[in-house]
Amino acid sequence: MIIDIHGHYTTAPPALAAWRQQQTASLEDPSVPAPHPADLRISDDDLRKSITANQLRQMDERGIDLTVFSPRASFMAHHIGSFETSAQWAAICNELCYRVSTLFPDRFATAAMLPQSPGADPATSVPELVRCVEEYGAVAVNLNPDPSGGLWNAPPLTDRSWYPIYEKLTEYDVPAMIHVSTSVNPAFHTTGSHYLNADTTAVMQLIQGDLFADFPTLRFVIPHGGGAAPYHWGRLRGLAMAMGKPPLEEHLLSNVFFDTCVYHQPGIDLLLEVIPTKNILFASEMIGAVRDIDPCTGFHFDDTLRYLAAAGLTIEELDDIQEHNARAVYPRLDARLGSRGGERSSTHA
């Protein structure tokens, strides 16, 4: 079985963006009426069309059995409005992903965005986390370490202000993917620098602190291959030593995992050489930041299964990266899948 742990609803029907535009317009101009969630009308047929022609088609073409599916990352845009703005928006987006998972229960599992907002107490996001796990069966959440959108004025992930979220994650045994959203800082391109900066920053914050001493079962997934972290693993090891921290294998790697959203063979090869196999989870973030075909290969940049197939891994290592590691890091997904699996989907030759 092949599980893609990093998918976003980037192909949602246009009505969703129109609703958000009106919400944003109402914040900028009080004469514009604020939309009500009930104003958003998206039918099941609308959802089916948006999925079957896009994510589901590519999953079938590539041999991916199931995708962990969350709201579009760049659309989270926690910097817009207040906590109430984000709460309304998160509830709408999470419901759509849940509906997709009910229409295609064998192909998609819900992961939730949180209603974060700059300056808001992270504890205010806990009710939506609870709702999504208990009502929608969410198997993961996306946690934004920088709700400001590139201004970086939130405390580090090791700060105790985040602890109410971590307490609930450990209670439910649910992992968090550390994922920022749109950059409002003109110096940081959203997907080209802000995302990768955040991945690297999150790893360094975790090295500097001792978060997992307080939460030994908390699990974080660092997307996009971990940003620059695997490439600079030697630097990070050296900094950890200078700070008197344990080796990174002890300090981080029981709790921190990296996905394979790395869009060329040398990058995947480096990730596999530096990071232990048990800490790597297959992901593609298909129809995401990079949607074109690589002229050097003739295949989509985000067809990351091809890179894994060409990396010289053993069958056991491939099985771990493509299925078993995801089941270990996402226990609620494992429980949902049960004994399903065993016979792996065909990978690229």
Residue ranges of the domains in the chain?
3-337
**18 close to 298: Cβ distance less than 8 angstroms:** no
- In angstroms, rounded to a whole number, what is the distance separating the alpha carbons of residues 54 and 16? 17
Q: Residues 296-344: pLDDT tens digits?
A: 999 999 999 999 999 999 999 999 999 999 999 999 999 999 987 754 4
Three-state SS at 69? strand
Instruction: Answer whether residue 165 shows pLDDT above 60.
Output: yes
Strand order in the sheet with 280-281: 3-9, 66-71, 108-113, 140-143, 176-178, 220-222, 256-259, 280-281
Q: Topology of domain 3-337, per CATH?
A: TIM Barrel (3.20.20)
| Of the listed ranges 85-94, 211-220, 337-346, the one predicted with least confidence | 337-346
How confident is the prediction for the chain on average, in pLDDT? 95
Q: Residues 104-134: pLDDT tens digits?
A: 999 999 999 999 999 999 999 999 999 999 9
C-alpha distances (whole Å) from 8 to each of 4, 83, 158, 262, 326 are: 11, 22, 26, 16, 17
- In angstroms, rounded to a whole number, what is the distance separating the alpha carbons of residues 248 and 255? 11
At 92, list the tokens.
């709408």
Q: Residues 3-62: pLDDT tens digits?
A: 999 999 999 999 999 999 999 999 999 999 999 999 999 999 999 999 999 999 999 999
**pLDDT for the residue numbered 339:** 82
Mean pLDDT value of segment 160-188: 97
Mean pLDDT value of segment 270-284: 98
- Give Cα 218 to chain centroid, integer Å: 16
At 22, list the tokens.
């009106």
- In angstroms, rounded to a whole number, what is the distance separating the alpha carbons of residues 291 and 309? 20
In DSSP notation, 8-43 reads: EETT--HHHHHHHHHHHHHHH-TTSPPPPGGG----
The burial of 12, by beta-carbon neighbours within 10 Å (0-12 exposed, 13-18 middle, 19 or more buried), is given as buried
**pLDDT for the residue numbered 340:** 79
Mean pLDDT value of segment 201-213: 98
Q: Which are the catalytic amino acids?
A: 285
Kind plus residue range of the DSSP H or E element containing 111: strand 108-113
In DSSP notation, 286-299 reads: TTSS--SBPTTTSS
Question: At a CB cut-off of 8 Å and minimum separation 6, what does 284 contact?
Answer: 4, 6, 7, 62, 64, 260, 261, 302, 303, 304, 305
**pLDDT for the residue numbered 320:** 98
Instruction: Answer whether residue 349 shows pLDDT above 50.
Output: no
